[in-house]
Amino acid sequence: MSTAHTTLPYRFVAIEGNIGAGKTTLSRMIAEQYNCRLILEEFSDNPFLPFFYENPERYAFPVELFFMTERHKQLQSELAQTDLFQQGIVSDYFFLKTLLFANNNLQDEEYRLFQRLFHILNANFPKPDLLVYLHRPVDQLLINIKKRGRDFEKDITPASLNPFNRLILNFLKQIRNYPC
């Protein structure tokens, strides 16, 4: 890839996709090519994540709540900053992902509460100017997940990846006025 920087025609680009789709890799490439500020999801700090993979029913609510608050805090801080030398921002996640994963992982009552909290946090939150969705077949996702070797992801199954694929595709089908 060339090191010459051109101007990214969007102020804020979010890359979204399932676990192992290549979001971070693409985000890094775009940030380098266009000299953008890079926002990477900070998932490793979630103390509930290893427990969630072992017992999803018990740990779904705390894992999703932690992700939501951390994503919100990170995006709010990063998007408020201005940089004279880096005009664009590229992120390897979209805040709405929080609600999609919660819809997939939480029981009905927990999801209703989570949804209320999400809408409060999301009310005046900036939306990306461009949303890019990376779709990969589940077998490729599993290969990518295995390659990166994160211990807490070793037990991810196709059954846990398929629902998010369906949720995000359904969400994308409903969008009418969004630059995707």
Q: Which two tokens stand for residue 136?
A: 């990969």
As a whole number, mean pLDDT of residues 1-21 equals: 81
How many domains are contained in the chain? Answer: 1
pLDDT at 4: 58
Residue with the bigger pLDDT between 162 and 95: it is 95
C-alpha 136/C-alpha 31 separation (Å) is 22
179, part of any domain: no
**Is 180 a domain residue?**
no
CATH number for the domain spanning 155: value is: 3.40.50.300
Report the candidate in 26, 145, 167, 36 with the shortest Cα–Cα distance to residue 93: 26
The residue-averaged pLDDT of 155-173 equals 82
Most confident of 46-60, 72-86, 138-152: 46-60
Residue 107 has a pLDDT of: 95
* Closest alpha carbon to 90 in 40, 155, 151: 40
More confident residue, 136 or 7: 136
- The set of catalytic residues is 92
Rounded mean pLDDT, 44-72:
91
Q: For the chain, what is the mean pLDDT?
A: 86
Give the model confidence (pLDDT) of 68-87 as tens digits: 999 999 988 888 877 656 67
The answer to whether residue 2 sits within a structural domain is no
Beta bridge partner(s), residue 89: 12, 37
Q: Does residue 56 sit within a domain?
A: yes
Residue 68, domain extent: 12-174
C-alpha 148 chain-centroid distance: 17
